[in-house]
Amino acid sequence: MATWLITGANRGIGLGLTGKLLARGESVIACAREPLKAEALAGQKDRHGDRLTILGLDVTSGESVEAAARASAVPIDVLINNAGIYGPRAGQGALDMDFGAFAEVLAVNTLGPLRVAQAFLPRLEVAGGKIVTVTSRMGSLAGTNDGAVAYRASKAAVNKVMTGLAQALRPRRIPVLLVHPGWVQTDMGGGGADITIAQSTDGIITLADRLDMSLSGQFMNYDGAPIAW
Ligand SMILES: NC(=O)c1ccc[n+]([C@@H]2O[C@H](COP(=O)([O-])OP(=O)(O)OC[C@H]3O[C@@H](n4cnc5c(N)ncnc54)[C@H](OP(=O)(O)O)[C@@H]3O)[C@@H](O)[C@H]2O)c1
């Protein structure tokens, strides 16, 4: 039984990952910024008891992340940086940017994953753990679509941040992987998205299981195909 820590675990892909991992017998620290409102996680707690810990964690707050790291003294085998926001559907163009919203998107999607990784690093080191960051194909600089600039920039930036982290953690043998989860039927992806949460989370978990130093620093689709930076 391994211990997985997942951010943004109260709904969407994070909740799907939590359910699947608990079902296969893993131990999960499910983080939510408003744990008292995380009803779906509370339901899982009733079923799985001690194997599920629900932890309050807002990735934009250093205080919150540090308090969460202090609250969970156990070694962590896999950290999944999943929490993310898309930002406003309008006001994300290069000519009509809502800069307040842009800063918030960067705070959650780019700074958040690094803040969480740094705070939980001692727990990962104890376990010989690994880090998976859920990014997006929309952050690929090879793409030509010019919509949703704030979201795309935040994911391009987290890709750079995580390749830097992969390099920095190579001597400590902690691998870091960037995964695009697919276009997924969640609140963010919408009902018309390509794949279900179950299809996406199967892929993400398979990749996390496979992750070793030979894959560290790579950017992959949920099905394991490499994605151009
Ligand atoms: N769905 C897709 O098609 C798709 C495609 C590519 C990439 N992704 C990426 O996949 C990840 C998960 O997306 P999703 O589709 O599951 O989205 P979602 O259904 O909108 O869920 C987002 C999760 O992130 C949490 N979150 C947001 N801001 C947070 C903060 N400051 N601190 C902690 N948690 C926070 C949310 O918590 P609250 O409930 O408190 O808001 C929620 O649990 C994101 O990184 C997203 O960018 C999704």
134 pLDDT band, cuts 50/70/90, is: very high
Could you tell me how many helices (H) and strands (E) the chain has, helices first?
A: 7, 7
> What are the residue boundaries of the structural domains of the chain, listed by start?
53-221
* Ligand 1, atom nearest to 83 Cα: 24
Atom of ligand 1 nearest to the CA of 10: 43
14 pocket-lining for ligand 1 (C-beta < 6 Å): yes
Q: Which two tokens stand for residue 6?
A: 């997942």
Distance from the CA of 223 to the center of ligand 1, in angstroms? 20
Q: Which residue has the tokens 């830097």?
A: 164
Cβ–ligand 1 contact at 183 (below 6 Å): yes
Q: Which two tokens stand for residue 93?
A: 């163009």
How far is the C-alpha of 226 from the C-alpha of 221, rounded, in Å? 6
The CATH fold assigned to 53-221 is Rossmann fold (3.40.50)
As annotated, the active-site residues are 151
Q: Locate 65 and state its tokens.
A: 């992340």
Q: Tell whether ligand 1 has an atom less than 6 A from the beta carbon of residue 84.
A: yes
Q: Which tokens belong to 101?
A: 């919203």
- The pLDDT of residue 73 is 86
In this structure, the residue with its CA closest to atom 7 of ligand 1 is 136
Q: What pLDDT, on a 0 to 100 scale, did the predictor assign at position 78? A: 98
- Distance of alpha carbon 31 from the chain centroid: 11
Mean pLDDT for the stretch of residues 23-35? 97
Q: Give the number of other CB atoms < 10 A from CB of residue 194.
A: 11
pLDDT in the model for residue 4: 98
What's the predicted TM-score (pTM) here? 0.98
The span from the CA of 97 to the CA of 189, in Å, is 21
Tokens 């989860």 appear where?
181
Helix axis angle for 149-169 and 112-127, nearest 10°, is 30
Q: How far is the CA of 158 from the centre of ligand 1 (A)?
A: 14
195 secondary structure, DSSP code: B
Residue 97 has pLDDT above 80, yes or no: yes
Find where tokens 């959650």 sit. 108
- Smallest CA separation from ligand 1 atom 36, residue: 8
Cross-strand pairs, 29: 5, 53
Ligand 1 center–CA 48 separation, angstroms: 23
